A and B are shown apart, each in its own frame.
Chain A
Amino acid sequence: MTRLTNVLPWVGVSAVGAGALAYVAINRGETISAAWLLTAAICIYLIGYRFYSRIISHDIFALDPNRATPAERLEDGRDYVPTNKWVTFGHHFAAIAGPGPLVGPTLAAQFGFLPGALWIVVGVVLGGAVQDFVILCASIRRDGKSLGQMAKEEIGTVAGATALVAVLGIMIILISVLALVVVNALRDSPWGTVTIMLTIPIAIFMGLYMRYLRPGAVLETTAIGLVMLALSLYAGKWVSESATWAPVFTLSGTTLAWCIMVYGFAASVLPVWLLLAPRDYLSAFVKIGVVLALAIGIIVVLPPLEMPAITKFIDGTGPVFAGKLFPFCFVTIACGAISGFHALISSGTTPKIIRREPDARLIGYGSMLTESLVAIMALVAACVLTPGVYFAINSPVSVIGATAVSAADTINSWALFKPITAAELELLAQQVGENSLLSRTGGAPSLAVGMAHLFSQAVGGESAMALWYHFAIMFEALFILTTLDAGTRVGRFMLQDLLGNVYKPLGRVSWYPAVLFTSAIFVAMWGYFLYQGVTDPLGGINSLWPLFGISNQLLATVALCVGTTIIIKMGKARYAFVTIIPLVWLVIVTASAGMLKIFSSDPKLGFLSHAAMLKEQIATNTLPANIKTVEAAQRMIFNDQLDAGVAAFFLIAVVVILGASIREWLAVVNGRKAAVSSEVPFVQTQLTGA
C-alpha cells in the first residue's frame, strides 16, 4: 500500500508531463498557450529531480547526513559557515542566474519555440543540473576545492593550466558580449541611458550612506536605493520628453561602449564598498523581483505563443544569428540548459556553506532546474510577440534596412509569418517610448517588449507599456552591468596572479600602479571585442554570442571531464554515464560549432570565408555601402582572423582536456593506476537536528 502511494503521484506527474509535451510537439498550425509548455517543463523537472538526480546522490556519492561537511569541519565564520538549506539554495540560485538564461533563449527563438524549449528541458535534466550537482559534491568532499584545483589534481597539470587560461578567455568574451547587449539596448535611447546612468550615483550614495551615516544598515539603504531607482525611471521619461536634454543623452553605440569601458575600469580600481557592493545588493533584489514578476505575469496572462513551433530558419538562413539548428541552437542556449560557468560557483562559495551533505541535491540539481525554468519563461516572453515584431527587433540593419518601411517589406517578403505594416512597428516603438525598436539586437530589448506586453495586460493596460518596457530594460541592464563590473574586478585579480609570475610587483594587489595597469589591460581586452561588436555592420552579436556559447561549453567540457574522472576513481565507473552522456554531446556540439565558425565556406557563418570575401571586395572595389572605407574593411578582416583564432584556441583547449582525461580514465579502468579517491576521509558530524 505504501509502495502504491509512493508510486502513484509520479505516474500522474509523468502522464501530465507526457501529455503536455505531446500536445506541444504535435500541435501544428494554430497558436498554443504558454501553459502547455510550462506544464511539460515543470513535470519533466520533477521527474528528473526525483529519479535522475538520485543516481548521483545515492548511487555515486552516497550523500551521508552523518558525514561532516567542510562548513562544519573547517568553520571559520567567514568562508566556511554552515548555512540553512534554503538560504544556501537562494544564495546559489542568485549566483548562477544572470542575464545568460534570458538572452540565449530569446535569440534562439528564431528557430521557433520548440527546438529551444526541448533543448532547455532535456539539456538541464541530463546535462546542466548533472554538471552542477556532481561538481558540487566533488568539491564538498574535497574541502571546497575550486574547479581549477580539481582539474589539476585529478587529471594533471596541463589540464589545470588549460582550465585556468580558458576561464580568463571566457571572462573576456562574456563581459564583451554582455556589454554589447547593454549598448544595443541603450543606443539612441535617452530614457534608458539616463535611467541606467543614474544607478551609478545611486550606488555611490548608498555606499557612502552605509559607510558613514548608518553602518550595517544594508536593508534600509537598499530600500532607499530601490525608491531612488524607481524615481530614476521617471527622470529618464522626463529627459526623453525634454527638447533640450533628450539630444544630450541620445548616445551612439560607440560613445556608450566607451562609457561602459570607463565604468568597468572604475569598478575595478575603486574600493568595493563605494560602488560594487551597493550595486550588487540593489541588483540582487531587482533580479529576484523581476524573475518573480515574469513568472507571475506569465501565469496570470497565460499568453498564446505567436511564434510557430518551428520556423524555416532551422536551415541556417536566419537573420538573428547565422547557422543551422545543429549545432547552433545548442551553442546559443548555454545558460538554462548547461553552462560551464556554473562549475565555478559549484566549486566556489557554495560547497563551503553547505551544512549537510544531502542538502547538495536541492542546491546543486534543484537550483539549476530553477534557472532552466527562468530560461523557459524568457523563451515564452520572446515568443508572445508577433513574429514580425520579433524579427524587426532582432535582425541587423544589413538585413532589414534602417527604416520601418524597409523592415516591414523585408520581413513580409519572407512570406513566413503574418504580414506586418510599417505603421505597426512605429506604433509599437511609440508605445514603449522609443524612437525606434529596429535592429536592437542582443535579446534584451525584445525580451523587454515581451515583458511589457505581458505586464501591461496584467497591470496598467497599454498606457503603461512605456513604463514597463523601461522597467524591464533597467533591470536587465542593471544586472548585466553588475556581472560586468564584478567580472572586470575578478579578471583583474586573475591577470595580476598570472603577471605576478613574470614581474613580481605586478601581482601585489595593494600596489596602486599594478592595480591601475592590470585593470586597464583587462578592460582593453574585453573593450576591444566590444568595440568590434558595436562597429560591426552585421550587428556584432552574430559573431560574439556563438563565441561566448562555445567558450561556456568548453568550460562545461572541463567540468564534465573532472566529474567523470572523479566518478571513475571512486570505483563507480558503471555510473559514469551520467557525466559521459552530456560530455559526448557537448564535445560534438562545441567541435562542430567551432569548426563551422572558423572554416565554413558561407561568409555569413565562417570567420575566414568572411575575411576572404572582404579581401576580394577590396581588390575589386565592390565594398558594400555599409562598409565606408577600405581601412574599416581591413579592420574587419583582422577581427575575423582574431575571432577565428579565439575559436581555434577554445577548440584546442577542448582537445587537450579531453585527451588528458581519457588517458587518465583508461589507466584507471585498465588497472595501470589504482582507483584511489582523493576525498577527505569521513568525519562524524557533531551537528544535531535536521
Chain B
Amino acid sequence: MRREPTQFTAMAVTPEASRQTALSGARSWRHRLTRLVALVRRLIGVPDYETYLAHMHRKYPGCTPLDPETFEQERLTARYRSAGTRCC
C-alpha cells in the first residue's frame, strides 16, 4: 500500500515544503495555511471528502465514488447516530 501524502504529512515538515520556502515566501505561507485549514477541519470533525476520494481512487479505481454532497450527508447522518462520538 502506498503512503497517502495529503493524509499523513499534515504535521511533518517535508523536503518539498522546505524547498518551497526557498522558492517563494508567499507560496509557502499559502501552503502552511492550507495545511492549517485541513488540520482544523479534521479537529472539529468536518467530513473529509478529499481523503475519501483519494482512498476510492487508490483502492477501487473502477468505481464511481459518492459525490461531495451525498458523502457529506452520509457522514453527518452517521455522526449523530451512535453514542460513541460525544460525551458529557
> Chain A: residues with CB nearer than 8 A to chain B?
72, 75-79, 81-84, 86-87, 90-91, 94-100, 146, 167, 171, 174, 178, 215-216, 218-219, 222, 272-273, 276-277, 280-281, 284-285, 334-335, 339, 341-342, 344-345, 347-349, 355, 483, 486-487, 489-490, 493-494, 548, 552, 686-689
Q: Which residue of A81, A178, A348, A552 is within 8 Å of B83 (Cβ)?
A: A348
Residues from chain B with a CB closer than 8 A to the CB of A219 are 37, 40-41
- Say whether A483 contacts B55, CB under 8 Å: no
- Say whether B43 contacts A94, CB under 8 Å: yes
- Measured in the bound complex, the distance between the Cα atoms of B83 and A146 in whole Å is 10
Residues from chain A with a CB closer than 8 A to the CB of B43 are 87, 90-91, 94, 284
Q: Does B87 contact A (CB under 8 A)?
A: yes
Q: Which residue of B45, B51, B68, B76 is within 8 Å of A272 (Cβ)?
A: B76
- Say whether B84 contacts A146, CB under 8 Å: yes
Q: Does B3 contact A (CB under 8 A)?
A: yes
Residues from chain A with a CB closer than 8 A to the CB of B68 are 215-216
Count residues on chain B whose CB falls below 8 Å from chain A CBs.
44
Distance (whole angstroms) from the CB of B84 to the closest CB of chain A:
2
- Measured in the bound complex, the distance between the Cα atoms of B10 and A487 in whole Å is 32
- Say whether B8 contacts A84, CB under 8 Å: yes
- Say whether A342 contacts B87, CB under 8 Å: yes
Residues from chain B with a CB closer than 8 A to the CB of A81 are 7, 48, 51, 55
Which residue from chain B places its CB closest to the CB of A146 in the assembled complex?
B84
Which residue from chain A places its CB closest to the CB of B44 in the assembled complex?
A284
- Say whether B87 contacts A75, CB under 8 Å: no
- Say whether A345 contacts B87, CB under 8 Å: yes
- Say whether A689 contacts B84, CB under 8 Å: no
Distance (whole angstroms) from the CB of A286 to the closest CB of chain B:
11
- Say whether B86 contacts A95, CB under 8 Å: yes
Residues from chain A with a CB closer than 8 A to the CB of B22 are none
Q: Does B88 contact A (CB under 8 A)?
A: yes
- Measured in the bound complex, the distance between the Cα atoms of B80 and A273 in whole Å is 11
- Say whether B84 contacts A91, CB under 8 Å: no
- Measured in the bound complex, the distance between the Cα atoms of B83 and A174 in whole Å is 12
Q: Which residue of A272, A342, A687 is within 8 Å of B3 (Cβ)?
A: A687
Distance (whole angstroms) from the CB of A634 to the closest CB of chain B:
32
Residues from chain A with a CB closer than 8 A to the CB of B55 are 75-77, 81
Which residue from chain A places its CB closest to the CB of B52 in the assembled complex?
A77
Q: Which residue of A277, A489, A689 is within 8 Å of B8 (Cβ)?
A: A689
- Say whether B76 contacts A281, CB under 8 Å: no
- Say whether B83 contacts A494, CB under 8 Å: yes
